[in-house]
Amino acid sequence: MSRGLRLTRCGTPGAANTPNICREEIPMKRSIYFILMSLALAAAPGAAAPQRAFAAAPDQVRKMTYQEARQRLRPAELPAFWVGSVEDLPSRWAKLSAGHAREIARSPGGRPLHLVSYGERETVKHPANFNSAVGGRDPASYMDKAARRKPVVYFVGPVHGHEVEGLTGLVNLVQIMETGRDLRGKDQSALRSLGGQCRLLILPAGNPDGIARFEPRAIHGMPKDEFQFWGMGTWADDSIAFWPGSKRQHPRTGPEIGWMGCYFNDKGVNPMHDEFLAPMSTEAPAILRAAMDEGPDLAVSLHSHESRPAVLRPAYVPLEVQEQVRSLAERAYALLAGRRLPHGSLPEARPDTCKNMDSFNLVSALHHISGAAAFTFECPHDVADEKACRVTFDEILDIQLSVYEAMLRFAMDAKQKGASPAGQKSN
């Protein structure tokens, strides 16, 4: 089937409570298989490291070399609006007229990270960092966000190099803010008008090294094993480093590693899981420094996965912020449903516990350095798997732009009520 044709999508769009039939959780039988294999490997003499028990499910290709992965690539005509590389980004930013682009860091591979902004920055009181302001029982002492006329919205593009759906979306958003049309030539004047009522901070590529390593330029229509290869890479024996075991060695370097994958920068660091108190690389500190300086009201880290579009619960942030993110998800899902686009289930606000531990990741850090209502958005790739969410290229862009619209409307509504999305109210 042609990669550009509409394929059967997962679930039924439009119903917020529709069960997610393409969930990321591993089915029960497969879970039992993994548990038994883990125990067997742990007990065996000379057993491999525990993460290798999660290398692959029984029905997936277990090994692949870089040469084999390249041979499997199928020639594909990507749409003109699709952006799957970082090569021409600097030349795009040089042509901006309404927006302003500045380099905020260099990756380990020497590639620039640019922050594109729209709307004037408003000067407000900023006597303390956020951590100290919270310690002083007055978050507004970090930054008087309520005094600003416009909300500040921060879009962080893919920190995983193969998740270029967000890169495509953000480059199209820049085009919209410049011309009123996306790269398809479709009129987006309403979205441009919304953007003009906010200060927009757009970081299109959060991991330019990983994106540069991503030769296919799109996962769309790719089998699951190839998708995992390009994302997570391989171990030294050429076995594919399936999630979550792929995260159990970090940075992803050394003799245990085969091909690195696109999740990581040239030092093997995944910016989503950098050591934020003792950074191992340059991207995450630059992303956080921009947030610290600007004090966004709302922030998103754009990711992609196999399943339906999903707003994820931010970990290690106040329950009130989690509830704000849930409310935003309701608005985003309503827009998606109204446009006959798929969506996942709503995130549930809950305390973080040791029993169901999540990571303190880049999104958590974004909140704790700026007070932003920060969250992860996962967009479908269109992986060629019966359990995956199947979407066209056009639908992927429509999903991205719909989520951006929901964010801008949400931020504007909060500002009109005299509060930032994270709850800081005017006096």
What's the CATH number where 356 sits?
A: 3.40.630.10
**Cβ contacts of 337 within 8 Å, gap of 6 or more:** 13, 14, 15, 16, 343
In a domain, 2, yes or no: no
In a domain, 135, yes or no: yes
- pLDDT-derived band at 60 (thresholds 50, 70, 90) equals low
| 215 or 62: which leads in pLDDT | 215
Alpha-carbon span 232 to 248, nearest angstrom = 11
Q: What is the pTM of this model?
A: 0.86
The mean of the pLDDT values for the chain is 88
Paired with 155 in beta bridges are: 202, 300
pLDDT at 30: 41
Quick: pLDDT tens for 68-126: 999 999 877 899 999 999 999 999 999 999 999 999 999 999 999 999 999 999 999 99
Quick: pLDDT tens for 151-172: 999 999 999 999 999 999 999 9
For residue 402, CA distances in Å to 98, 220, 337 come to 22, 20, 10
Residue 5 pLDDT greater than 90, yes or no: no
In a domain, 11, yes or no: no
pLDDT at 10: 53
pLDDT at 286: 98
pLDDT at 424: 65
Please report how many Cα atoms fall inside a 13 Å half-sphere around the Cα of residue 396, on the Cβ side: 40
pLDDT at 74: 84
**Residue matched to tokens 């990270």:** 113
In terms of Cα–Cα distance, which of 296, 280, 411 is closest to 363? 296
Residue 257 pLDDT greater than 80, yes or no: yes
Residue 366 pLDDT greater than 80, yes or no: yes
| Mean predicted confidence (pLDDT) in 237-241 | 96
Residue 58 pLDDT greater than 50, yes or no: no
Residue 232 pLDDT greater than 60, yes or no: yes
In a domain, 408, yes or no: yes
pLDDT at 356: 82
What is the number of structural domains in the chain? 1
Residue 420 pLDDT greater than 80, yes or no: no
Q: State which residues form the domain around 263.
A: 28-416
Strands (E), 110-268: 112-118, 152-156, 199-203
pLDDT at 59: 47
pLDDT at 387: 95
In a domain, 13, yes or no: no
| Mean predicted confidence (pLDDT) in 406-426 | 84
Contact in structure between 57 and 37 (CB atoms under 8 Å) = no
Residue 21 pLDDT greater than 80, yes or no: no
Residue 379 pLDDT greater than 60, yes or no: yes
Contact in structure between 271 and 284 (CB atoms under 8 Å) = yes
In a domain, 17, yes or no: no
pLDDT at 70: 96
Quick: pLDDT tens for 279-330: 999 999 999 999 999 999 999 999 999 999 999 999 999 999 999 999 999 9
In a domain, 16, yes or no: no
In a domain, 157, yes or no: yes
| 412 or 60: which leads in pLDDT | 412
Residue 16 pLDDT greater than 50, yes or no: no
- Packing angle of the helix pair 393-416, 189-196 (nearest 10 deg): 40
The percent of residues in the chain predicted with pLDDT above 90, rounded, is 81
**Cβ contacts of 19 within 8 Å, gap of 6 or more:** 11, 345
